[in-house]
Structure 1
Amino acid sequence: MTDRAAAGAAFDADVMIVGASFAGAACALAAARAGLRVVVLERKVDPGEKLHTTGIVVREAAEQTWLRHAPAECFHRVEQVRLYAPSLRSLALRAPGYYFLTTDTPRLMRWLAAELVCHGVDLRLGTAFTGAQLCQGGWHVPGIGRTRYLVGADGVRSRVAVTAGLGRVRDFLYGIEYEFPGLTLPGPDALHCFVSKRLAPGYIGWVARNPTGVQAGLALRHAPGRTCTPDIDGFLQRVRHLLQIPDDAAPGATRAGLIPCGGPVARIARPGVMLTGDAAGVVSPVTAGGIYSAWRHGEAIGQAMAGHLLHGGVAPERVALESAPRFLTKRALRWLFDRLQFDWPFEVLLHTPPLRLAAERVYFHRRGVRAC
């Protein structure tokens, strides 16, 4: 037995990941497919329940990540963004070849959990992470065992971050989303985005068709210490006539939660422990690309842990830090939107080149955009 193998035999796992959503699953799949022993702790018994994500997947995630293997029934393709001013005047935006996928998110998360098991991950559903202690060469998680690496993919209120003394997410949006099963929308499929300082200060409202119906959400800037809940019912009352959502339509499911918007946390890793996904703040603060950035970061960490343990490669803690996207331009837009959001300039600028350029950066990731 080699020295590396002998050292590994003293541990119950090479990697323990807390959280089985997109970033945690990406990290687990990358590490397990490379040959590591991976344990994933997920507090939910059913990974498709009590979701917080909108589940909107950008083209890059659909084509360049493991999500490309998901069943087609999980997705609904959307090729247009319709942007609405506060008066409900609108602008249709397209980019040749670009698209979004809305998802049957519960089904997608259950498929993803099955993929983990299929690739040899020890997925422990209904298992909450309560803490960990440093041990020789790694971490000891009570009731679970010893691991070389601990990864926190457990959301904006990460217990792993608290346990390990890592950075905490400080800047948030707060969002609520309804799902209306069986509904459809009129006209060409689009991601409908609504700007309104009164209803969505600091962010937007949105409506889109998905594989099972229609999803509608509203998010606003979260102010610590002040309770402010998005008025999603007021938002729907204002826009339902445009999208032909019946007055008596009742949501079949509701999602709500905090959305990081301040960029990566100050301390994303220390020896033997790293954060990814929402816990690390590595989600885009302005656009629907959060799943993609979280996936790529989690995957990079998983590959780095395998490369380091099996081949003496670069330390994964360094990779966790260096591969974290900074979102500098989008964070600048976020800062401006927080402080200079007024309805009248948006009305004036709706059909102008500067606004179309901003939409290109936000929705289509700098690809050419065509306004209709």
Structure 2
Amino acid sequence: MSERNAEVDVLVVGAGLAGLHCATQLARAGHQVLLAERRPTLTGTVRTTGIFVRRTLEDYALPEEHLGPAIRRMVLYPPGLTGPVELTSDRDEYRVGDMGPLYVAAARDAVRAGVELRLATRFTGQREGTYLLEDAAGPLLVRARFVVGADGARSRVARDLGLSRNRHLLVGAEEVFADRPDGSDPAFHCVIDPRLAPGYLAWVLRDGEHVHVGTAGHAHRFPRGLYSALRSFRERAPGLEGVERPEQVEKRAGPIPVGGVLPRIASPAGLLVGDAAGAVSPLTAGGLDPCLRLSGHAAEILDAALRAGRPAELEAYDGHALRARFRKRLLLRKGLDGLRTPALATSAFAVLRTPPGRALARRILFGNGSFPLP
């Protein structure tokens, strides 16, 4: 089999939302971009719940036809599910994206911008400045001025470039199936219970079109495993009254980095975006808004480096500076990690019933903040 070669300005590894957005912005700036994705199709193996927050919806033109109805109501529950705290916003705070079609739409925009998209193509490493890809036809050697790691929480690109790697990970799983509108307002139900979601939350999200039932937490702290916790939660989860779960449901699972933006996310050879860079809220584990904002910032940095012909321009892509802006969220993450028993979780939940507690919850869930770009 003859060796195949390609030469581009930027190789982007991973066609999730971060990789697609970064590749598209670079191509629109006039650069030659190759985007490699190991999945054979963008509609399979979706790992995210797909929750878009208000700031993202305000600032990015997402396809309306692939977004569910707006959600304004959050309901928070203690371990016993009694005495929940309900919060309602006067604004549309969340919408759930149909991620498969959203990826396809974003890929279509990328190709129109000039990105060369290669599906079923794995990144296998680097050799003397050349990046190694492999597809059904065999090895492909790509010479690129820069590489972008958009290849998820356990990034192979980060490893090969000697960049920081995620160490603080949750694991999550959920089931998604069609909903039947019953006249109720769309709602997001969240349960704080370390038996079901150690270090995080279990959730039911209903928007009238789809139902999402899931849980996440530290893998080693699930008493009987992640999927056992999900089954247990599903049997008594709030917000599912009158809902019929079909036998066949879409199942999603994957790691969630919650250690904040990683310290070293760039080198003279390239940089990291999305989950690979730890661009996920340490507290809420929300990653879609950070991935879009950080990947846009990465595209600006790379554009400057390509035009100047100086890899040193990538020094402005500083994970240490971004990480400093996550200090409060990292402290709150430690607090959530510390709720190791139902009794502790119940005691902490009592704070949410106080006016200061409700105000803090509203600020976290309905606030105006977004990913802290430089």
Q: Residue 86 of structure 1 corresponds to which residue in structure 2?
A: 79
Instruction: Give yes or no for the alignment of 1:109 onto 2:111.
Output: no
Q: Which residue number in structure 2 is paired with residue 257 of structure 1?
A: 254
State which drifts further: 311-320 or 10-19: 311-320
Partner of 2:68: 75
Aligned residue for 1:155, secondary structure, equals: coil
Mapping for residues 101-180 of structure 1, pairs under 5 Å:
101-135=95-129, 139-142=130-133, 143-180=140-177
SS at match of 2:283: coil
State the alpha-carbon separation in 2 of the partners of residues 327 and 192 from structure 1: 26
- Distance (Å, rounded) in 1 between the aligned partners of 2:37 and 2:65: 25
Deviates more, 1:208-217 or 1:220-229: 220-229
Which deviations, in whole Å up to 9, do the C-alpha atoms of 1:195-252 show, x marking residues without a partner?
A: 1122111100111125742111101123399983251111011125x42154654352
Distance 1:311 1:94, change over 3 A: farther
User: Identity across aligned pairs (percent)?
Assistant: 34
Q: Give, in angstroms, the shift of residue 144 of structure 1.
A: 4.0
- Asked if the contact 2:68/2:209 (under 8 Å) is kept, the reply is no
Give the unaligned 5+ runs of structure 1.
1-9, 368-372
CA contact (8 A) 1:104 1:210 kept: no
Q: Pick closer, same or farther for the CA change 1:347–1:306 going to 2, 3 Å.
A: closer
Given residue 358 of structure 2, which amino acid in structure 1 is its aligned partner?
R
CA distance in 2, matches of 1:73, 1:50: 17
Question: RMSD in angstroms over aligned alpha carbons?
Answer: 2.6
Deviations 1:137-192 (A, max 9, x none): xx433514210000101011111111111111001111001001244466211111
CA separation of 1:217 and 1:251: change in aligned 2, threshold 3 A: farther
Query: What residue identity is the alignment partner of 1:337?
Result: L
Deviations 1:240-292 (A, max 9, x none): 5x421546543521001110011122321111221111111111122264111
Select which of 348, 353, 363 maps to 1:361: 363
Deviation at 1:301, TM superposition (A): 0.7
Contact 2:185/2:207 (CA < 8 Å) preserved in 1? no
Aligned match of 2:137: none
Report the CA distance shift for 1:262/1:288 in structure 2 as closer, same or farther (over 3 A): closer
Q: Are residues 31 and 110 of structure 1, via their aligned partners in 2, closer, same or farther at CA, if it must alter by over 3 Å?
A: same
State the partner residue of 2:326. 327
TM-score, L = length of structure 2? 0.86
Q: Which moved more, 1:231-240 or 1:117-126?
A: 231-240
1:206 to 199, 203, 208: 203
Three-state SS of the structure 2 residue aligned to 1:283 is coil
CA distance in 2: counterparts of 1:35 and 1:161, whole angstroms: 26
Match of 1:6?
Answer: none
The whole-number CA distance in structure 1 between the counterparts of 2:126 and 2:306 is 21
User: Any idea what SS the aligned residue of 2:253 has?
Assistant: strand
- Secondary structure of 1:293's match? helix
| Higher deviation after alignment, 55-64 or 225-234 | 225-234
Separation of aligned partners in 2, 1:155 and 1:119: 24
Q: C-alpha displacement at 1:63, in angstroms?
A: 1.9
Do the aligned partners of 1:22 and 1:295 also contact (CA within 8 Å) in 2? yes
Partner Cα separation in structure 1 for residue 232 and residue 221 of structure 2 = 23
Would the alpha carbon gap of residues 354 and 222 (structure 1) be closer, same or farther in structure 2, given more than 3 Å must change?
farther
Consecutive unaligned residues in structure 2, runs of 5 or more: 134-139, 370-374
Q: How far apart, CA to CA, are the structure 2 residues paired with 1:185 and 1:173?
A: 34
Deviations 1:286-331 (A, max 9, x none): 2264111111111111121112212568713422536745422111
Look up the equivalent residue of 1:141 and give its one-letter code.
Answer: L
Count residues in correspondence.
352
CA contact (8 A) 1:208 1:214 kept: yes
Higher alpha-carbon deviation: 194-203 or 176-185:
176-185
